[in-house]
Amino acid sequence: MKEAIRQHARELGFDDCRFTTAQPPQSAARLEQWLATGQHGEMAYMERTARKRADLQQVLPGARSIITLAVSYAPNGEGSRIEDRGAGHAADCGARTAGFGAEATQRPGVMARFACYADYHQVLGPPLQQLAALVNQLGGAHTRSLWYVDTGSLLERDLAQRAGLGFIGKNTNLISRHLGNWIFLCEIITTFELEPDAPERNRCGSCTRCIAACPTAAITAPFQLDARLCISYLTIELRGPIPANLRPGIGDRIFGCDDCLAACPWNRFAREGRLMKTHARPHLTTLDLRELLALDDPEFKRRFAGTPLLRARRTGLLRNVCVALGNTGDETHLTALQSAATNPDPIIMEHAAWAIGQIQNRRGN
């Protein structure tokens, strides 16, 4: 049964497939403590779903097994050299933002690698649905299965480690010995009982590269992350203003941050993902930041339909662009920022004004 599921998973494009029980995750207590200290920031859904994450029977009554799957989004040839790119610009989708014109001297903006593909929720949903259908068929008439792509109330990294898919690194992300850091996780929780695979053990050793690489010191200790300091949280999840004291650390990043992932030496084993390969969006690697500042909401939605950038919403993305220009721009970008400073959205207006002040301070005005 397991081999039939694994074989079908490979045929559907998944890069790894492992099995574990539906027993409560060991990290449930740590999640409760993390929430109690407010390190989840404004991600209120984490609190709302905490009980389900600790008790999988609340997700699917009668659940017995969980199938954990990994999908690589490492570009071809990245595995052997990704760790040598250097902190601060290690995960820039393989290309820098262009189009500023000959007079512009700003360093280009950076997006997290996963954002240079079609939205993985939409890409992985159909093959997961097909695999869940096979599980139900093999399990018999009374089998029930639910599939998730980073959307369910599951402590998926804990479950993936227990299934042997990888180990949770000091950066709190799952690391695969065969795929490195560049992986999407998804799961099928089912009432069909399947023999669990052996768990993976931690293999970080004495390495602390990911901790040293974090631009905002969000990895407060090995295996501990304060989301409120994390650039991915600040540029994607946070809806309000970015705290002024954290803006300089964001540098030229406009959507997410991969520095702690890119620093990991296990990435030498990363390989190009078969499933995501056809869903690359090369045009997302050549965005003009000044042009982005002029986008209205309909144009924003049209331009980024079907991509992860929609998650930040127009306000969030333009807020991030203002911060990037404030950190790395010069006087050639003031006109675009001055226009943004008259935007009726108070968040865009305030961040544009901040960026103008930063550039003027560097210019000595």
Specify if 81 maps to a domain. Answer: yes
Q: Does some domain include residue 363?
A: no
The tally of domains found in the chain comes to 1
Residue 254 phi/psi, 5-degree rounding, is -115, -10
Confirm whether 288 is domain-assigned. Answer: yes
The residues that are catalytic are: 150
Q: How confident is the model at residue 97, as a pLDDT?
A: 33
Tell me the two tokens of residue 109.
């903006």
Cβ partners under 8 Å of residue 219, min gap 6: 170, 171, 172, 210, 211, 225, 260
Question: Count of CB atoms within 10 A of residue 227's CB?
Answer: 20
Q: How confident is the model at residue 138 (pLDDT cuts 50, 70, 90)?
A: very high
Position 101 scores a pLDDT of 34
From 82, 19, 24, select the one nearest 54 (Cα to Cα). Answer: 24
Q: How confident is the model at residue 285 (pLDDT cuts 50, 70, 90)?
A: confident
**Is 208 among the domain residues?**
yes
Q: What is the residue-wise DSSP string for 163-189? A: TTS-EE-TTSSEEBTTTBT-EEEEEEE
In a domain, 365, yes or no: no
What is the structure's pLDDT at 93? 39
Q: 77: how many CB neighbours lie within 10 A of its CB? A: 12
- For residue 38, pLDDT over 50 is answered with yes
Average pLDDT over residues 299-310: 95
Domain membership of residue 145 (yes or no) is: yes
Instruction: Determine, yes or no, domain membership for 364.
Output: no
Report which of 25, 24, 6 is spatially closest to residue 15, judged by C-alpha positions.
6
CA distance 201 to 198: 10
State the residue range of the domain holding 251: 2-358
Domain presence at residue 98: yes
Distance CA 72, CA 112 (A): 14
Which tens digit of pLDDT belongs to each residue from 8-31?
A: 999 999 999 999 999 999 888 899
Q: In percent, how much of the chain has pLDDT > 90?
A: 79
- Over the stretch 145-201, which tens digit does the pLDDT of each residue have? 999 998 888 999 999 999 999 999 999 999 999 999 999 999 999 999 999 999 999
The CB density around residue 7, as the number of other CB atoms within 10 Å, is 12
- Average pLDDT on 212-222 reads 97
Total residue count of the chain as it appears in this document:
365
77-98 mean pLDDT: 38
